[in-house]
């Protein structure tokens, strides 16, 4: 059975090496790694799957279950409710879907404006005007969400710890003070890349920050 998962992993990885990627491919790769008890790489690929398709409920469930098997249990700092709501809303669809929705609602907005300008009846003109305003807000919001999702995909500002144990330093140097330990499977935010490209400044969900070797993590 293990050989089958090894073969599946090799096949999926070879496809990814050609430059082809999809949410389903990352999801299946995550499942294969999970079956091999490689939890950090399972988490990494579930995260990548959700980056491409935020609506994959199976990936969400498997990711949450995988996180119960890692050492670090980090409580996230409370996010301002409006920011949390915006992030949650933007994650309902992929960037392309938001972009299409933005275009459709903009076209409907233009049609409503024509109805307002050329309408003959006062009530219909009023309905057309408020409809145009509403559709414009929806179109603008959809464009904003599309950009958010695209930036999230292109910037890849989050990473997963791959090494079993990583010592987080106070500075980008081995001589830096040891601040705390993090372990394989933990998700971190990349805040800065040191000029020599060997160190990353990372931030945990609880707000703690420090420096780690580039080789100890892998970008989502």
pLDDT, tens digit (0-9, with 9 covering 90-100), for 20-59: 899 999 999 999 999 999 999 999 999 999 988 888 899 9
Can you give the pLDDT at residue 89? 76
Q: pLDDT value at position 80?
A: 62
Res. 218 pLDDT band, cuts 50 70 90: very high
pLDDT of residue 78: 61
* Residue 91 is assigned to a structural domain of this protein: yes
Both tokens assigned to 182: 């993090």
Q: Give the CATH number of the domain where residue 178 resides.
A: 2.30.30.40
CATH number at residue 35: 1.25.40.10
pTM: 0.78
User: Range with the lowest mean pLDDT among 18-32, 33-47, 103-117, 140-154?
Assistant: 140-154
Burial of 218 from C-beta contacts in 10 A (0-12 / 13-18 / 19+): middle
Cα dihedral sign for 14, 17, 47, 216? positive
Q: Name the pLDDT band for 151 (thresholds 50, 70, 90).
A: confident
Is 75 among the domain residues? no
CA-to-CA distance for 37 and 143, rounded, in angstroms? 40
pLDDT at 215: 95
Q: How far apart are CA 196 and CA 198, in angstroms?
A: 5
Contact 149, 94 (CB under 8 A): yes
Asked if residue 1 has pLDDT above 60, the reply is no
Q: Looking at the domain assignment, is residue 118 inside a domain?
A: yes
Q: Is 67 helix (H, G, I), strand (E, B) or coil?
A: helix
Out of 139, 155, 171, a domain closes at 155
Q: Within this chain, do residues 100 and 49 fall inside the same structural domain, yes or no?
A: no
Q: Do 150 and 165 fall within a single domain?
A: no
Helix (H, G, I), strand (E, B) or coil at 200: strand
Q: Which tens digits make up the pLDDT trace of 118-136?
A: 888 889 999 999 999 999 9
Per the structure, the complete domain to which residue 107 belongs is given by 81-155
CA distance 79 to 90: 15
Q: What angle do CA 166, 167, 173 make, to 5 degrees?
A: 120
In a domain, 72, yes or no: no
Total domains present in the chain: 3
Supply the pLDDT for residue 220.
93
Q: DSSP letter string over the chain?
A: -HHHHHHHHHHHHHHHHTT---HHHHHHHHHHHHHTT-HHHHHHHHHHHHHH-TT-HHHHHHHHHHHTTSS---PPPPPPHHHHHHHHHHTTS-HHHHHHHHHHHHHHHHHHHHHHHH-SSHHHHHHHHHHHHHHHHHHHHHHHHHHHHHHHHHH--EEEE-SSEEEEESSSSTTSPEEEEEETT-EEEEEEE-TTSSEEEEE-TTS-EEEEEGGGEEE-
Residue-level pLDDT at 153: 78
pLDDT tens sequence across 161-215: 999 999 999 999 999 999 999 999 999 999 999 877 899 999 999 899 999 999 9
pLDDT in tens, 72-94: 888 776 666 677 677 777 777 77
Give the integer Cα–Cα distance in Å for 201 and 171: 8
């Amino acid at each position: 059975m293990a050989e089958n998962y090894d073969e599946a992993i090799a096949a999926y990885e070879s496809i990814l090496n050609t430059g082809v990627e999809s949410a389903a491919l990352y999801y299946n790769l995550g499942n294969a790694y999970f079956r091999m008890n490689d939890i950090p790489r399972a988490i990494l690929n579930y995260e990548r799957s959700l980056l491409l398709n935020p609506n994959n409920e199976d990936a969400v469930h498997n990711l949450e279950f995988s996180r119960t098997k890692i050492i670090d249990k980090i409580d996230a700092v409370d996010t301002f409710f409006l920011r949390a709501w915006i992030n949650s809303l933007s994650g309902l669809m992929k960037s392309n879907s938001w972009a299409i929705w933005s275009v459709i609602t903009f076209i409907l907005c233009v049609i409503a404006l024509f109805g307002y300008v050329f309408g003959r009846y006062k009530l219909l003109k009023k309905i057309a005007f408020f409809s145009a305003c509403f559709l414009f807000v929806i179109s603008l919001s959809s464009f904003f969400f599309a950009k958010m999702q695209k930036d999230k995909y292109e910037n890849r500002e989050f990473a997963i710890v791959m090494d079993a144990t990583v010592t987080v330093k106070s500075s980008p140097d081995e001589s830096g003070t040891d601040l705390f330990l993090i372990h394989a499977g933990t998700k971190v935010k990349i805040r800065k890349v040191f000029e020599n490209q060997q160190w990353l400044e990372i931030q945990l969900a609880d707000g703690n920050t420090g420096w780690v070797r580039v080789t100890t993590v892998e970008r989502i």
